[in-house]
Structure 1
């Protein structure tokens, strides 16, 4: 019985940590524009180096990406 309680407590602890880690994620939204004229820049790649996920800006220069407190975003554009 003691072993079962120990396993159940360990499982609860892991689940608690997982829920806590997920609650730190949030969606970051933004718009990439040119500094010279303020026009939107479509096709910019945004990469989160911490978890290797990414997205690109739409035709209006807008993007959204899930980030954490440790995210490091890299913006790149060829054009």
Structure 2
């Protein structure tokens, strides 16, 4: 459907979605194959990092053109929209 909506081209929407799917699937397999005890040992650290990232979005984010908050990272651009 994204290929059709892109006018027969993969670039506007289909190719980025394919890349996101492949990366997400690989990450899912990696997490599934990780030892469960590792998750138990590092749960508080992962939680703390998650909280720090949420604080970073609040501190370094920007609001413009409505309720959009964004955080620009070195390799990733996050755009969070509130509906």
Q: Same fold (TM over 0.5)?
A: no
TM-score (ref. length: structure 1): 0.34
TM-score (ref. length: structure 2): 0.33
Q: Which has the higher helix share?
A: 2
Q: Which has the higher strand share?
A: 1
Between the two structures, name the one with larger relative contact order (CA 8 Å, sep ≥ 6): 1
